[in-house]
Chain A
Amino acid sequence: MIRQTRRFVLAGALALTALPASAQNVSLLNVSYDPTRELYVEINAAFAKEWQAKTGQNVRIRQSHGGSGRQARAVIDGLDADVVTLALAYDIDALHLNGKLIPADWQSRLPNNASPYTSTIVFLVRKGNPKAIRDWNDLVKPDVGVVTPNPKTSGGARWNYLAAWAYALKQPGGDDAKARDFVRALFKNVKVLDSGARGALTSFTERGIGDVFLSWENEAFLALKELGADKFEIVVPSLSILAEPPVSVVDRVVDKRGTRAVAEAYLQFLYTKEGQEIAAKHFYRPRDPEVAAKHAETFKKVNLITIDDVFGGWTKAQATHFNDGGVFDQIYAK
């Protein structure tokens, strides 16, 4: 039986490894996080067209989606991603720290911190905004039910948490102690902590839990589009955080598979006018000033703070706030 098993395993493995090695056909695996499914369906089609025109090669881009941290873990465990397009730099840093799949300076290899598009955190409320939620300080009122995923497991939820913290910090007389009290009060209003952004969104929209959902801007727009603008509306707070979902080639994989050229071209395509237009269409804020100006109506101007300015970068923010025993554990336990 063992031999039989082995034969099956080998046959399966061979069948799979035989796939990518043809001169006219090349395939890439893009390992991404949850909310980018729709974005990359369109990017992939547009890039494949461009690449074929340029080189004559057919490129097939395979997609894998899941929670950002979990996806990084899968790549570390051997999922053969040619490129990763994740929610936070911290998750891509993990590819360097565990297994040296990429060099330490990966984030300087592409413009804008290797983040071709950005997003921010906004509020999704029920139509008519019955609880009159306008800004962060409305979220700590006693009768407001807040829905956010769990910052321990969700990249998006960490942005939510840090944006709230930064808001309290930037208020007149704000300091770390006041910010801590503010965030504690906010999480006291949290009705349910789902593990991922889509699950939390479903809790809010389908199960009708809570009055406000703290969301990626692109997810909030998508929810309006998919579930009906007659049911929800978006509230943009006075201050929010600049979320930079970065991208990187996975050196270990592309060098082995011989796909570096096409993988790099794929990521650079995200920075072209066409790539930026597609990003804007899927409600990611484009980096290109011209494309951004065209979509200024969609993307409301917000006072955006960055994680580097306020929290000293992801590694530090992660260690202080989200690691076991960190600030989030302390305030949520009490």
Chain B
Amino acid sequence: MAGNAASLARKGETRFEHRSATRDPLIVRVLVLTVALGFFAIFLLLPLVVVFAEALRKGFETYWAALVDPDAQSAIRLTLLAAAIAVPLNLVFGVSAAWAIAKYQFRGKAFLTTLIDLPFSVSPVIAGLIYVLVFGAQGWFGPWLRENDIRVIFAVPGIVLATVFVTFPFIARELIPLMEQQGSEEEEAAIVLGASGWQTFWRVTLPNIKWGLLYGVILCNARAMGEFGAVSVVSGHVRGETNTMPLHVEILYNEYQFAAAFAVASLLALLALLTIALKSLVEWRSGRTQSREDAP
């Protein structure tokens, strides 16, 4: 879909841009460009540069020491673990939800669609507090959990739960418009031609949604690794156990270990840059496939 728009715009360039009647006055173009680029430089590029500059200010050895520190290692492992659980769960959920909403008619469909967006609109702190209220010692299931010696809050499961919550909508949101646009004709045709349900999904639906799905997974993963607020509430901040990378950065900063804090932050920033690179790659690939399909 994004690819469609992009290719349209590209074709349009030659047609509209060079006609004086449709061209914006020079001053407007310069102004708009300056505002956009200036904003980009001050609010995005500069902080990014600062993170890396600060991280390496005390030399590469300090940088490396900060990353191999046992607490940092544990934070990195926990972050990866939380993402490794949250992303597949949301993958399954996202595809099911998008499927249900796009292909079936049922009562409460609009409500479900709205509900999926809830984690976007709720502040992450509230999301964390919800879990404390439900699973905390004073919460609904607190006494039962205590008797059975199961720890949810202030332990790894709570962190995973909070991460799943805040990353809930990413994949479903990406797929719903895509699947709605495609309709269910192709699937119906496959069924009529004798394909089983699984074959239909695997051979017809999945190839149609794969780029959107991948895009959703990437965004979901980025958020899962970067989440701070919700995780901070349920973490308990036990060092080497329940601190994720963003929490570890805060701790190091509060301990005057600025270089170490920025070193771990730079690792997070690197992950983010990698995500953006992957995302652009996916967009580019999907754009290419789209235009190949569009071509007669």
Contacts and interface: CB of A to CB of B under 8 A. Distances in A.
Nearest to A98: B138
A12 B155 contact: yes
B151 A17 contact: yes
A9 B135 CA distance: 12
B38 interface: no
20 contacts: A5-B164, A8-B85, A9-B150, A9-B157, A12-B157, A13-B155, A16-B156, A37-B255, A38-B255, A62-B239, A63-B239, A66-B237, A74-B236, A76-B137, A77-B139, A77-B154, A78-B135, A78-B146, A79-B236, A227-B256
A221 B142 CA distance: 42
A64 B156 contact: no
Contacts of A16: 151, 155-156
Nearest to B85: A8
Contacts, number: 86
Interface string A1-31: 1001100111011011100000000000100
Contacts of A78: 135-138, 142, 145-146, 151, 153-154
A281 interface: no
A206 B160 CA distance: 34
A10 B155 CA distance: 11
A226 B255 CA distance: 9
Interface of A: 1, 4-5, 8-10, 12-13, 15-17, 29, 34, 37-38, 62-66, 74, 76-80, 98-99, 198, 222, 226-227
**Which of A16, A38, A63, A98 has the largest number of chain B CB atoms within 10 A?**
A16
A241 B157 CA distance: 43
B93 interface: yes
A228 to B, nearest CB: 11
B89 interface: yes
**Which of A13, A15, A37, A198 has the largest number of chain B CB atoms within 10 A?**
A13
B149 interface: yes
A62 B251 CA distance: 15
Nearest to B135: A78
Size bracket, chain B contacts: 35 or more
Given A5-B89, A9-B152, A76-B137, 14 more contacts: A1-B93, A10-B150, A13-B150, A15-B156, A16-B156, A37-B254, A62-B240, A62-B241, A63-B239, A77-B136, A78-B154, A79-B154, A79-B236, A227-B256
A99 B251 contact: no
Contact of B150 (A17, A198, A222): A17
Nearest to B150: A13
A4 B142 CA distance: 21
Contacts of A1: 89, 92-93, 96
Interface string B266-295: 000000000000000000000000000000
Contact of A64 (B96, B157, B237): B237
B237 A65 contact: yes
A216 to B, nearest CB: 14
A316 to B, nearest CB: 26
A17 B152 CA distance: 11
Interface string B38-78: 00000000000000000000000000000000000000000
Nearest to A6: B157
**Which of B145, B237, B240 has the largest number of chain A CB atoms within 10 A?**
B237
B249 interface: no
